[in-house]
Structure 1
Amino acid sequence: MSGDLGIWTVPLAMVGGAIRVSTPFLFVSLGETITERSGRINLGLEGTLVLGAMAAYGTAVLTGSPWAGVAVAGLAGGLLGLLHGFICSFPRVNDVAIGIALMLFGTGLAFFFGKPFIQPSAPPLPAIPFGAWSDLPQVQAALRVNVLFLAGAALSVALWWGLRNTRAGLILRVVGDSADAARALGYDVDRVRLVATGIGGVLAGIGGAYLSLYYPGSWNEGISSGQGLMAVALVIFARWNPLACFGAALLFGGAGALGPALQSVGVSQGYYLFYAAPYVLTLVLLIATSSPDRALAGAPGELSLSK
């Protein structure tokens, strides 16, 4: 089949793969952008992503509805985010340490409650066949776009606009840049950060639902492969800009699709090494965009990493 497109098979497969693989990165990074814009970092999103994947898959198996699974995944992620925000509201509590603890907690919960759902099959999330006009199966597969990807793309634009043009966006930025200034203006800093962390958890949970209900479309204990932690690095690379998060998620997704794309044209030598591409890209981009003068340019002033 690959002969039908010749050399274009690899870039087409990478485009389709970028769309499929990028969606969890997109939702987690948008959620973390909201959280970090409030001046708090949540390293527990890896656990939230895994817990969301399990909650979505289990709910879809029990109810027969993938959208019910997405809703429950968002709820589970939101509750874990609120727990993180509540604990971090106490004095002298370290965001990073709590995030790591809740990452382990969320992952442990998912593994414990998810064991009965490893074998059953859940209904998948729907996708829109934008490639239906073509007779080539490669084109049809590459342009089959899940609804959550489109929702994530729209959300990135809405967040970019909202952070600049709405009162809620202004409050979030003020709290993230200077807690003292926010308090002087009468804003409840702890409440804003609690809500922001909860919303970030909801989006990360939805990203997990995509993993288990669409791509790869199953539940197992190794489903995340560190995507939650990579998405935190993606936020730093994107300089806390939702639109840049969308582009960076596609870049990371394309890197993740490199191995399967090359395998589709018969490249099998060192095949498993290509799966390391997203991890290598994470390291390279953070090094390339950092310097002693502007290592965290654009970071909210209250963010723990900037202190």
Structure 2
Amino acid sequence: MESQRNISEFILVGLSYDKNIQIFCFVFFLFCYISLLSGNLLILVSVTCSPLSDQPMYYFLAHLSTIDICYTSTVTPKLIADQLVEKKTISYGSCMFQVLTMHFFGCAEIFILTAMAYDRYVAICKPLHYMVIMSRTRCNLLVLAACIGGAIHAIPLFMTAMTLPFCGPNVVDHYFCDVFPLLKNACTDTYITGVLVIAFSGMVALVTFVVLCFSYGIILYTLRNQSAEGRRKALSTCWSHITVVILFFAPVIFIYLRPPTTFPEDKIFALFYTIIAPMFNPLIYTLRNAEMKNTMRKLWCQTLFSKETHN
């Protein structure tokens, strides 16, 4: 542990050294973060304050919005602030905390997306038993399992990062602290550690992605026997879920399911699962969902009308 104390902070390389690009990134990511917070909070409040919260699909959607906010907030505020400073530093403790929270919320999101896919499978393939199978107790257990799964995934990676000996240099070629970039700074052989990261991150993402693709394949196959209206409504919801899954899983699999190394392109791919996908989730789930749009319109119009009447 003594070797770890030789480094009290890390220097993050960030996305670019160019001042003009940094100013552009500041404006762009600030817009993305505000949009992400606004969209996910809008979904969270709309679902919580309406009868939609009684439906499993929207119950999971509210939890997905909560996780998206927590997940992105572990990285994006720091990324935005770093665009305004020349030396982008992060303390050792904050760096390790980023590793823990990023993998906890990231893995929890993966399992919530899996729960949403299971909900759609039951709704379309077993509609007569839907309310019995997707009871509120089972929904609560699925959310709890997602949190426990996130902890089981994140804590070993966090402990691995904590036990790495850092004796210099302290420059991390990324815009946040992640295990692979930190391995390059460790003054020890990290081959076994890299294999463990692939097992805990890459394989989890790949297996979950295959399961999701298989489940949506079954759903799409089952839709052949439904009416045109039922098929249209189900397809609208399923394509929204599939879009979110691809946006999130494709870059994650690219980065974590390979030998422990880093490429300059990794930072661009990481933007997709840390910022871009969580920002687009509210748009994807609302613009293609008539029920959600109608509920939001009624709820917020009613709220505004009540305020005007009160005034």
**Looking at CA atoms only, which structure, 1 or 2, has the larger radius of gyration?**
2
TM-score by length of 1: 0.31
Q: Which has the higher contact order (CA 8 A, sep 6+)?
A: 1
Relative to the length of structure 2, the TM-score reads: 0.31
The structure with the largest helix share of the pair is 2
